[in-house]
Amino acid sequence: MGMTEMQKLEAGLPYRYDDPELVAMKDTASFRCAQHAAVDPLDAAGREAAARELLGEAGPELDIQPGFHCDNGKNIRVGRRFTANFNVTVLDGAPVTFGDYCMVGPGTLIATTGHPMDPQGRRDRLAISKPITVGDDVWIGGNCTIVGGVTIGSNVVVAGGAVVTKDVPDNCVVAGVPARVVKRLG
């Protein structure tokens, strides 16, 4: 018997994103995101509890502002004192891992999932998901995009509006489309 679409996703192979098992996973994540959004904005403890239900793993001092969306949630792991500002989207078909003391600016998209370049693959509703890893002490500015397969080192600033398509070394500032190192830190 062949692999299920979920097994293909987990193996890093192309998979059909409209598979019923994957759609059910996304529906569950959407429900949990809606629960998080329904918490009184003044109830920080309630927001944190709802976020912990959504994520796979979270260290102490978790702060996720309203407007957070993901398509699995359980593939997201964040370290100590993680902050996601308003309207952050994490498409976590593959694992997304943040180190300690990371901040994600408003309107940012972190997308492990991409689609084929050929039209037939898109017509067949294929996708492929690649992990994203973010080190410690990283500030991702507002309205950034981080694509699948990228590793961002520690002590990095991703300037607002940047599109990160390649790995980023430690101790630097990256900016632009596509993002490139514009300054070394420390």
Residue 120 burial (C-beta neighbours within 10 Å; 0-12, 13-18, 19+): exposed
* C-alpha distances in Å from residue 58, one per residue of 28, 104, 118: 19, 15, 38
Active-site position among 115, 122, 166, 183: 115
CA distance 78 to 96: 8
Q: Could you tell me the maximum CA-CA distance found in the chain, to the nearest angstrom?
A: 54
Terminus-to-terminus CA distance in the chain, angstroms? 54
CA distance 50 to 47: 5
List, in order, residues 6 or more apart from 178 with CB less than 8 Å away.
163, 164, 165, 166
CA distance 83 to 47: 12
> Is 115 tagged catalytic?
yes
Active site positions, annotated: 115
